Structure 1
Amino acid sequence: MAIETGISYVKSSLNGWIGCTQISPGCDACYAMAGDLRFHGGKHWGPGAPRHRTAASNWKKAESWNRQAAAAGTFWPVFWNTQADMFDNEVPDEWRADAWNLFALTPNLTWLLVTKRIGNAKRMLPADWGTGYPNVWVISTVVNQEEAERDIPKLAELDAAVKGISHGPGLGPLDLSFRIESGRYAGKRAIDTLDWIITEGESRQGRTPREYKMEWAESLAEQASEARIAFFMKQMGHLPTRAGERVRFKGKGAHVLEWPKPLQRQEFPLGNVLVPEPEHALRAVHRIIPIAG
């Protein structure tokens, strides 16, 4: 069962610190910013705002999860920093160093670093990163084609066990067939540098959600299949449309079996699979798919 998270592609989430700055159209309805405004008056948000490091007892949860994962022999993905960004310039390097150390000390957990600042990542990796920690996945958020063409080449230059993109919230279609112009993957299609694609529609965060066209998700699912990489449909959000018409789903559209069959896909790379919670077993669809090549 999930622990302390509603994110469908992880089992747990852990915040090492709280606070960030909006840098993308995808940040306009940020749930973390809304939460900080509600509970802390927004004092941890924006340029120059102090980031808040969480208590040592919170960090120690990872040690307990690591022991449980080892005992059970299960795949235990953890979303690191739902309330912040690992590669935020305004976070002390010492905090990041402690996070890298935590990841190294918990090899039975798979850490997902989802970032809107992939351009900062390379210079903020630890000295012993090498070709990547085997239990750390790096995922760049790209909400539209402009961000994809700007950031996927930066992601491609990193070494990591798994590299993926999160089209969340999806604010436009993505064509991932474009060619990377420079670097070690020059001439290669962007999609061929990826291991995983996640997509989702926007949910309400105290404002009207933006439209999420299901055609965008269908296109990404087809592109993932053609490239033989994993595809994860997270949710439809609160304003999904199809052929220009509003489509109604329960809540934020997270019930898998309500979706069209081609989108009933929640795949993980590397042959790992997240076991659904018992009460959700009838609606959750999780497939195992290896990384190509």
Structure 2
Amino acid sequence: MGENSKIEWCAHTFNPWIGCTKISPACDNCYAAAWDARWGNSWGPHVRRRTSAANWRKPLAWHKAAAAAGERHRVFCASLADVFDNDRSITSGWRGDLWHLFHRTPNLDWLLLTKRTQNIARYLRPEEYGDLPKWGDGWPNVWLGTTVENQEEADRRIPQLLAMPAAVRFVSAEPLLGPVDLTPHLCPKQWSCDFGAESGGGSARGTIPKLDWVIVGGESGPRARPMHPDWVRGLRDQCQAAGVAFFFKQWGEWGPPKPYPIPAQPGEMTRFTVATSSDSKRVGATVWRVGRGLERQSEFMDRKGKRAAGRMLDGRTWDGMPEVMREGRADA
């Protein structure tokens, strides 16, 4: 249920409750749903299950340890649920207790990752749960993130995420199921509006913030879908150009063979072929050269398992962290 997380970008995981409902392509092979099918009964509508009082006490111990060490620890909340799930089985008391827990643990950075960005504004009202400060410009120890498995979901969810103030705004492109262009969201944008006389005149101006952190990972598990290396490289290059932190978490079930293949050249487009080897342990990927007819270059992904596939991209690991971490806030 928590602590000593195996997730590379956090120290602990905490689940205030368990259960969810599949809502997008990223959910098709959900590891949490598979776990719940063996150990619980909390997937689908109206069956969320709150975790034990002992589990809820763990973050207090993590906070105490972080404070004693002069560190900050990142906590992923919730790996087996969605904090912004609007299912009716999640009571206001559960959510209120969670906000109080965030407030009592200022040495923990709470990472809230959701696919339900349309619900964030509705639930970011901690003052409704007793003597708590308003969300305002965001609590300094609560980060907001969303999953963007493909371009469609990126275009829908990211603007809703960026509309909310937060100490850190991030995306997790995992499982990455296709090429994604995040360029419009990696730099702040200015906006302005002049009102006509019929509206009383005047004008308004503001800034749309940027993403602070991009996490990328492939899918794991027996039904995992392969991820093309150029999809990962594309996001890495976008982040590097914009100065945004990039974190490559894993290849997942499918990884590139060694030695690593030569990346596609700029201006090329990539896609997976449908062909697989006879034993279904190799998937071909084709690089189509724009403006060069049928000339192409093949790249393959081997089914080797998450551990063997590892997390090396083009010969190195990528462990970028958001600016708030580089400015001196310690981490474990």
Change (3 A) 1:79 1:87: same
Larger Rg: 2
Partner of 2:140: 134
- The residue identity in structure 2 corresponding to 1:260 is D
TM-score by structure 2 length? 0.73
Equivalent residue for 2:223, pick from 205, 208, 215: 208
Matches of 1:138 and 1:202, distance apart in 2: 22
Change (3 A) 1:273 1:74: closer
> Unpaired segments of 5 or more residues in structure 1?
276-293
- 1:218, distance to aligned residue in structure 2 (A): 0.7
Mapped pair 1:116 → 2:131: no
Matches of 1:21 and 1:217, distance apart in 2: 27
The secondary structure found in structure 2 opposite 1:164 is strand
Matches of 1:210 and 1:224, distance apart in 2: 24
Matches of 2:163 and 2:145, distance apart in 1: 13
Matches of 1:186 and 1:26, distance apart in 2: 35
TM-score by structure 1 length? 0.83
Structure 1 stretch displaced more, 10-19 or 90-99? 90-99
Normalized per residue, the structure richer in strand is: 2
Partner of 1:27: 27
On the 8 A contact 2:255/2:304 being kept in 1, the answer is no
- 1:69-218 to structure 2, matched below 5 A, reads 69-90=66-87, 91-125=90-124, 126-127=126-127, 128-178=134-184, 193-204=210-221, 207-218=222-233
The secondary structure found in structure 2 opposite 1:60 is helix
Partner of 1:252: 306
RMSD of Structure 2 on Structure 1 (CA): 2.6
Matches of 1:214 and 1:227, distance apart in 2: 20
Equivalent residue for 1:54, pick from 48, 51, 55: 51
Equivalent residue for 2:321, pick from 268, 272, 284: 268
Identity of counterpart residues, as a percentage?
44
Partner of 1:11: 11
Change (3 A) 1:133 1:238: same
On the 8 A contact 1:236/1:252 being kept in 2, the answer is yes
The secondary structure found in structure 2 opposite 1:268 is coil
Matches of 2:191 and 2:78, distance apart in 1: 29
Matches of 2:216 and 2:210, distance apart in 1: 17
The secondary structure found in structure 2 opposite 1:68 is helix
> Unpaired segments of 5 or more residues in structure 2?
128-133, 194-207, 265-284, 286-298
- 1:3, distance to aligned residue in structure 2 (A): 3.2
Change (3 A) 1:174 1:217: same
Structure 1 residue ranges (4+ consecutive) displaced by more than 4 angstroms after TM superposition: 183-187, 272-275
- 1:192, distance to aligned residue in structure 2 (A): 6.0
Partner of 2:293: none
On the 8 A contact 1:156/1:185 being kept in 2, the answer is no
- The residue identity in structure 1 corresponding to 2:216 is T
- The residue identity in structure 2 corresponding to 1:160 is A
Matches of 2:159 and 2:66, distance apart in 1: 34
Matches of 1:36 and 1:199, distance apart in 2: 25
Partner of 2:246: 231
Counting matched residue pairs gives: 263
- The residue identity in structure 2 corresponding to 1:129 is W
- 1:255, distance to aligned residue in structure 2 (A): 3.5
- 1:57, distance to aligned residue in structure 2 (A): 1.0
